[in-house]
Amino acid sequence: MPIYASPSARAFYDSIDNLPDDAIEISDDLYRELMDGQRTQLLDWTVFPPALKSRAVALTADQLVAKIDARVAEIYATWSRFDSEDNLRQIAAQKFQDAGYEGEVSVWISSYARAAGLTDREATDLILQQAEQKVRAQEQLAELRLRKYELSAVAAADRTARYNEIMALIEEIAASVDTQTPVNG
């Protein structure tokens, strides 16, 4: 017995009586696969012939909060891989700048300057600028991470959109720091 599928009616027919104009015959195998698959998946009528697609599972506020925390922790871990070097380089740069860029240049500055093709003064200024940018980025991430509490205050229907908004801003900050010339050479 032939089976027909109609995208406009979002239905299957086993008779040619009253078939919609867009109904097209599909194989018995595809029909059985679609019917069996509906137990765990949805029918996607935006493609033809219809196909199975995963059911969208709405995450709870607690699950979304955990995802925000995990992503920010991952970013912090990436940024802090060479914290001890970065801190020593920043201290040396601050001392050199405070001395009016005069006197002996620390190996923390000179090695960075040579590797980056900069003068000692340019390297010092860049090290301090990047350190300040990292602090500002951490402040922004901390603020965004705390916005996770908004998720439990919004309606479930709006929760995913708010989460996506927060995560987009987090990714923007992460990318802005990742694209800088690294302080750690």
For residues 80 and 28, membership in a common domain is answered with no
Instruction: Give residue 185's pLDDT.
Output: 42
Instruction: Give residue 175's pLDDT.
Output: 87
Instruction: Give residue 78's pLDDT.
Output: 85
For residues 138 and 47, membership in a common domain is answered with no
Q: How far apart are CA 38 and CA 34, in angstroms?
A: 6
Q: Does some domain include residue 184?
A: no
Choosing from 16, 38, 54, the residue where a domain stops is 54
For residues 158 and 70, membership in a common domain is answered with yes
Structure tokens at 128: 């301090």
Beta strands in the chain (DSSP E): 3-6, 11-13, 24-26, 41-44, 51-54
For residues 93 and 154, membership in a common domain is answered with yes
Structure tokens at 123: 């390297």
Instruction: Give residue 157's pLDDT.
Output: 78
Inter-residue long-range contacts of 141-144, CB under 8 Å, 24+ positions, other chains counted:
141/72, 141/75, 141/76, 141/170, 141/173, 141/174, 144/68, 144/72, 144/169, 144/170, 144/173
pLDDT digit of tens for each residue in the chain (185 aa)?
789 999 999 999 988 888 999 999 999 999 999 998 888 888 888 888 899 988 766 788 999 999 999 999 999 988 878 888 989 999 999 999 999 999 999 999 999 999 999 999 999 999 999 999 989 999 999 999 999 999 989 888 788 899 999 999 999 998 887 545 444 44
Choosing from 34, 54, 74, the residue where a domain stops is 54
Q: Does some domain include residue 183?
A: no
pTM, to two decimals: 0.61
Q: Which amino acid is at 110?
A: S
For residues 122 and 162, membership in a common domain is answered with yes
Q: Which amino acid is at 117?
A: G
Q: How far apart are CA 82 and CA 182, in angstroms?
A: 10
For residues 49 and 79, membership in a common domain is answered with no
Which of these, 99, 98, 96, 100, lies nearest to 108 by C-alpha position?
A: 96
Distances (CA, A) of 166 to 47, 63, 69, 148: 32, 14, 11, 8
Domain range holding 45? Answer: 3-54
